[in-house]
Amino acid sequence: MKFIPQSIAEIVLIETVIHGDERGYFSETFRQDKFEEAIGYKVNFLQDNESKSSRGILRGLHFQLPPFAQSKLVRVVEGEVLDVAVDIRTGSPTFGQHVSVLLSGENKRQLFIPRGFAHGFVVLSDMAIFSYKVDNYYSAESDRGLAFDDKELDIGWQLSKEELQLSIKDQKQPVLENLGQCFSYGVSYYA
């Protein structure tokens, strides 16, 4: 596995080694010791989730408030998505900035999004199966979001606004300016 810090260093792109022959392929998609060595701290993933979505479905930008904040390790099993993480840590030198990465069943890349970031993705292929690990359970009371189309964020979703399909909840999320302080830069949200 190759671990590549992104323009926001806490977000890490993971490229896996693919071993293939005429029978198919094999790939190690997660290994706790190498993962923790690369990011520099312990993350205890508790749950795996999977979603299937069609082209234009945009899910996000989501996060959970402390103490129910979540780190995510995301990947695409089939299809292609544009995956986006936004720094929402007040006081961070990269506050309001984002990282976007193409993840696909073909490139087998993964993205690690730590606590303190809002996360979302849009499906670029006809269909995509999106899989991810989280290190905290879902909490409806702490579930929050950020407007996907906030002009301050300037996210290029690669599809026109008319092509996008969002849940009613995601259509009504606040812009960054109205989000309030959810996370503080320099504070560890890990036990």
Q: Tokens for 99?
A: 């990282």
User: What whole-number distance in Å separates Cα of residue 46 and Cα of residue 28?
Assistant: 19
| Residue from 62, 98, 137, 185 carrying the catalytic annotation | 62
Q: How many CB atoms lie within 10 A of CB 173?
A: 22
Tokens of 153: 């964020």
SS3 state at 37: helix
* Nearest Cα residue to 142 out of 59, 61, 63, 47: 63
Options 132, 137, 138, 189, the catalytic residue: 132
Q: Is 98 a catalytic residue?
A: no
For the question of residue 132 being annotated catalytic, the response is yes
What are the residue numbers of the active site?
62, 132
